[in-house]
Structure 1
Amino acid sequence: MRTVAMTEEYAVQIANWDYEYPYEFYNMEGSEEAVQELLAGSYQAVVAGEDVIGYFCTGKAAQVPAGQLAGIYDEPGIDIGVGMRPDLTGQKRGRPFFSFVLDHIDQGGLDLRLTVAAFNRRAIHLYEVFDFRIVNSFLRGNTEFYVMKR
């Protein structure tokens, strides 16, 4: 695995990933807005061989706007967001992928913080393995989100 700057080709691929229920919540449906966000933010593609297998971002791009409005992210920390290609999920590949991502984030002495939909028990379990703990929660519409810190 290696990280590369997000390209338009990778952004289009990621924006068209199709997660199955209940993870379809994360589908971007190929929107141009999603592609532009992936290109404009602090997103890095994670590549194996020539294939994009995931991505991560840091900073404001990793925050959920409803959490910003609620002041959830006011404390210092490095916000991280991650995504893995749908056909690779649920196959015990999360640990090496997430470990790789964590190794590529410069913490600058700050805590790492991530936000995850509360229904995503699979991701929450993974984050707990890496010593992230739920420290807060908030609602966006009908969806509850957990904020986890390490």
Structure 2
Amino acid sequence: MTNYTFKPMSDQEARAIADWHYEAPYSFYDFRNDEEDLGELLDSKARQGIYYSVYDTQNSLIGFFCFEKKEETVEVGLGMRPDLTGKRLGQAFIQAGLNFAEEKFNPSIFSLSVAIFNERALKLYKRIGFKIMDQVTQKSNDGVYSFYNMMRSVDGRK
């Protein structure tokens, strides 16, 4: 999977993604487990210009990205269809998303947050140049969890 198509997320795509279920411990990322995130996903006005569906060359919905520009930084959120996770597809998927965001938003820096327990994603983000900036604790999914805030320059050197 190296060629991807990015489209503004439709209501139908948002409903499909809302029903994705990941195996534990990644079920933490199920939209149905966080009412606030689910509400944003299903609200077409809140999604506008932020959420993008990602399709592969067979025109299958394989994931999504959300990009929020704040000054020179684009905050990145993402998810891959559950049956595709853990198959070494993440690096190409994430790089495609960063390339798309670079063209669309022209940022200097990318940032993202990852739950500390998500060692698989953490290893991948480090491999593509993200650095841990700090650790925060925040309410999410009816609990309090620790996250790493990570950043990298658009050229991947910082």
Distance 1:37 1:122, change over 3 A: farther
Structure 2 partner of 1:134: 132
Which among 95, 102, 114 is matched to residue 91 of structure 2?
A: 95
Percent identity of equivalent pairs: 34
Distance 1:128 1:89, change over 3 A: same
Larger deviation, residues 27-36 vs 133-142? 27-36
Aligned alpha-carbon RMSD (Å): 2.2
Give the total of aligned pairs.
137
- Please report how far the alpha carbon of residue 103 of structure 1 lies from its aligned counterpart in structure 2 after TM superposition: 0.9
Secondary structure at the residue paired with 1:13? helix
Q: Structure 1: state its 5+ residue gaps.
A: 61-72
Task: Give the TM-score taking structure 2 as reference length.
Answer: 0.78
- Please report how far the alpha carbon of residue 24 of structure 1 lies from its aligned counterpart in structure 2 after TM superposition: 0.6
Equivalent AA in structure 1 for residue 64 of structure 2: Y
CA contact (8 A) 2:130 2:151 kept: yes
CA contact (8 A) 2:15 2:42 kept: no
Which among 32, 35, 53 is matched to residue 45 of structure 1?
A: 53
CA distance in 2 between partners of 1:37 and 1:56 (Å): 15
Return structure 1 stretches of 4+ with deviation > 3 angstroms: none
Distance 1:34 1:51, change over 3 A: farther
Secondary structure at the residue paired with 1:40? helix
Equivalent AA in structure 2 for residue 84 of structure 1: M
CA distance in 2 between partners of 1:143 and 1:125 (Å): 19
Partner deviation per Cα, 1:89-109 (whole Å, 9 max, x = no partner): 000111111111111012534
CA contact (8 A) 2:63 2:79 kept: yes
Task: Give the TM-score taking structure 1 as reference length.
Answer: 0.82
